[in-house]
Amino acid sequence: KLSKFSTPPSSSTNYSPMGTGESHLAFEDNASKEDPGKVERLEFWTRPLNNPVAAAAGGLHSFLVIRTNDTKHHRLEKLVDGKIHVRVIDRVKMEITKRPQKMQILKAARIENLRSGLHLRTIRRWARRHEGDYDVHSANCHRMATDVWNKSVSVEH
């Protein structure tokens, strides 16, 4: 049974994301024209921060991976620049690099555990509300990922 969960420990990150074709959500609104459609799977990932001191202290970066009905995978995250970034990623490459980079999936939800009719454009709209300032305690990657996760997962789960 899936559960909604609270925000992981706050931390900052100086992170250079992996992906193929980054577009930051200072929302190029051609994104809504190219909306791939219905969300089939949502994953909540974490990985250690790039800063060795922060990583040694247990600092984590949180992000979401979204699979849509066109079989594309999209990585959604808030970075220290305060912007929400979304990009199509190579999921196979991410699996290969998962272990050496100590990335892990904390939660995953399939279509039957998501809100009915959930679309990527809706998730982008929810994420957009988190764009702006970055604060290590109150406006960070964990807050954005947790908020979007909680809104995406069906109420009964």
* The predicted structure's pLDDT at residue 157: 52
Give the phi and the psi of residue 42 in degrees, each rounded to 5: -130, 130
Q: What residues contact 84, with CB distance under 8 A and at least 6 apart?
A: 24, 25, 76, 77, 78, 127, 128, 130, 131, 144
- Give the pLDDT mean for 91-107: 90
Residue-wise pLDDT for 37-71, tens only, equals 899 999 999 999 988 999 899 999 999 999 999 99
Q: What's the pTM?
A: 0.77
- Give the pLDDT mean for 116-131: 96
- Give the pLDDT mean for 96-106: 90
- Give the pLDDT mean for 2-11: 43
**Closest CA relative to residue 93, chosen from 18, 15, 17, 16:** 18
Asked whether the beta carbons of 144 and 74 are under 8 A apart, the reply is no
- Give the pLDDT mean for 1-9: 44
State CA 143 to chain mean position distance. 10
Strand partners, 107: 44
- Give the pLDDT mean for 112-118: 95
Band of pLDDT at residue 100, cut at 50, 70 and 90: confident
Q: Which element (helix H / strand E) includes 65?
A: strand 60-68
* The predicted structure's pLDDT at residue 78: 97
Q: What sign does the dihedral 32-150-24-129 (CA atoms) show?
A: positive
Checking if the pLDDT of 7 tops 50, the result is no
Judged by DSSP in three states, 139 sits in strand
Tokens of 56: 């040694």
SS3 percent helix, strand, coil of the chain, rounded to 5, is 25, 30, 45
Band of pLDDT at residue 36, cut at 50, 70 and 90: low
Checking if the pLDDT of 20 tops 90, the result is no
Single-letter amino acid code for the residue at 74: H
